[in-house]
Amino acid sequence: QQEAVTGGCIYISYVLTGFETNNKYEIKNSLGQRVYFAAEENDCCTRNYCGPSRPFAMTIVDNTGREVMKLHRPLRCSACCFPCCLQKLEVQAPPGTVVGYVVQNWHPCLPKFTIQDEREQGVLKISGPCIPCRCCTDVNFEVMSVDESSVVGRISKQWAGSVKEIFTDTDNFGIQFPMDLDIKTKAVLLGACFLIVSSFFFLFL
């Protein structure tokens, strides 16, 4: 497999808000400038009892407060023994216009997903490590061509150092993608990052 192409980058930072509130995130460009703000919409009971399998709607707004994207995640099972109920996320950009889906693929050991277009046709694949929650290193989910022959990007949970990881709730995630990637696919890839964050790193937020 080829190395990931160096192209565009997006960074996502968890915003510390407290136990009783929905998760919120800042989305920054490669220069570290905030370009979007994302907020989960669900209730306290769902958030605290469903944990990483929780359903949610997420609204993404630009710096003027205009809604630019909406993510919808239904309640699904994350266990590999229930392949008919694996994770799925719908991406709307702008809200009301579906541009694609993120669908979990069954695998006995690895977290795997397919990026689909609005017609539910596969355009990219994502494959993560067997144990996503590792210490002292970045955790990388490789973004690959649909036939999985080449790596074209990466979604990463970035290791912030022992002190920050242990004593703070701030987590940082990065998305790398080719500069010429279709804008709709970029939006779905952003949605994939949020699905991965909520599925595998929820306990650390």
pLDDT in tens, 83-101: 666 889 999 999 999 999 9
20 pLDDT higher than 70:
no
Decide if 3 is inside a domain. Answer: no
φ, ψ of residue 30 in degrees (nearest 5)? -65, -15
DSSP 32: S
Residue 2 has pLDDT above 60, yes or no: no
pTM (two decimals): 0.83
The span from the CA of 28 to the CA of 5, in Å, is 20
pLDDT classification of 170: cutoffs 50, 70, 90: low
User: What is the total count of domains within the chain?
Assistant: 1
Range of the structural domain that residue 13 is part of: 8-204
Q: Per the domain annotation, does 2 fall within a domain?
A: no
Residue 37 within a domain: yes
What does the pLDDT read at residue 119?
A: 98
pLDDT in tens, 21-74: 678 999 999 888 999 999 988 766 666 656 666 788 999 999 999 999 999 998
Domain presence at residue 85 = yes
Of 177, 170, 175, nearest in space to 194 by CA: 175
Residue 107's pLDDT is: 87
Q: What is the pLDDT of residue 205?
A: 44
Judge whether 27 and 36 are in contact, CB under 8 Å: yes
- Any domain includes 49: yes
* Distance (Å, whole) CA 197 – CA 71: 13
- Give the residue among 191, 169, 175 at the shortest CA–CA distance from 14: 169
DSSP 59-124: EEEETTS-EEEEEEE------TT-GGG--EEEEESSTT-EEEEEEEEP-SSS-EEEEEETTS-EEE
pLDDT at res. 117: 98
CATH code of 105's domain: 3.20.90
Long-range contacts of 23-26 (CB under 8 A, 24+ apart): 23/198, 23/205, 25/194
Can you give the pLDDT at residue 158?
Answer: 78
In a domain, 102, yes or no: yes
Could you tell me if residue 148 is inside a domain? Answer: yes
In a domain, residue 1? The reply is no
The answer to which of 74-88, 169-183, 184-198 has the lowest mean pLDDT is 74-88
Please check the confidence at residue 186 and state whether its pLDDT lies above 70: yes
Sign of CA dihedral 181, 184, 187, 193: negative
pLDDT at 198: 86
What's the confidence (pLDDT) of residue 143?
97
Q: b/e map of 39-54 (b: 16 or more CB within 10 Å)?
A: bbebeeeebeeeeebb
Q: What is the pLDDT of residues 111-154, one digit of tens each?
A: 999 999 999 999 999 999 987 665 667 899 999 999 999 999 99
